[in-house]
Amino acid sequence: MLEASARGCPGCITALVEQGGADVHYMNEQGDGDHALLAAARGGHVAALRKLISFGAKVNRTDTLGRSALWEAAAAGHLEAVGYLLTLRPKHIRDFVSELSPLQAARAEHGRVVSLLAADLAQAADAAVVEAAQVHMNSTQKLQLAARRQDKKVARADVQTVVASAAYVAVH
């Protein structure tokens, strides 16, 4: 499975799984815990990545060093592979040894990959701000309704939520 993935052969992966009963979750325990998804990502083999994911490979699975498929593809500068992996909404997991994120691993030599990863992180941050603003807005509406009803108990409880949400939005 590792060899088929490293060579980027989706047909081989299919044959190994469907005819040979190979496990897409197999991990080489003799070394650093390499597995098929990492091998495909390291080589930038998008078709192999797609095939492995279709057979149930986990996008956030790491080796013993903490390197994920996103990390490997980013460090190797494989823009198309990084783009595909980002559509799966992976975690930006740091390498346990170097403590580098995928963005940091790519920064030295792979400017376009860095731009793609930075945009993905910015989008995730924007989503968090929107969610916090919605919580703030919902709490404000509840507070106004409670005040109209003169429901002081609800109004007092929601004041804390409004203040906390507003502080979060202001800071972030």
Profile the chain (172 residues) by mean pLDDT over runs of 10 residues. Answer: 94 95 88 91 96 95 90 90 90 73 71 76 65 53 53 46 46 44
Residue 90 has a pLDDT of: 81
**144 inside domain:** yes
In this prediction the pTM is 0.66
**CB atoms inside a 10 Å sphere around CB 27:** 18
Q: What angle do CA 13, 18, 21 make, to 5 degrees?
A: 90
Q: How far apart are CA 81 and CA 100, in angstroms?
A: 19
Q: Are residues 79 and 151 in the same domain?
A: no
Residue 108 has a pLDDT of: 60
Residue 158 has a pLDDT of: 45
Residue 75 has a pLDDT of: 87
Residue 1 has a pLDDT of: 92
Residue 42 has a pLDDT of: 95
Q: How far apart are CA 153 and CA 160, in angstroms?
A: 12
**117 inside domain:** no
- Domain with 163, as residue range(s), is 123-171
Q: How far apart are the first and last CA of the chain?
A: 44
Q: How far apart are CA 62 and CA 69, in angstroms?
A: 7
For residue 104, the domain's CATH number is 1.25.40.20
Nearest to 91 by CA among 116, 59, 119, 52: 59
In this structure, are residues 142 and 162 in contact, taking their beta carbons and an 8 Å threshold?
no
**77 inside domain:** yes
Residue 112 has a pLDDT of: 73
Residue 166 has a pLDDT of: 46
Q: Are residues 104 and 27 in the same domain?
A: yes
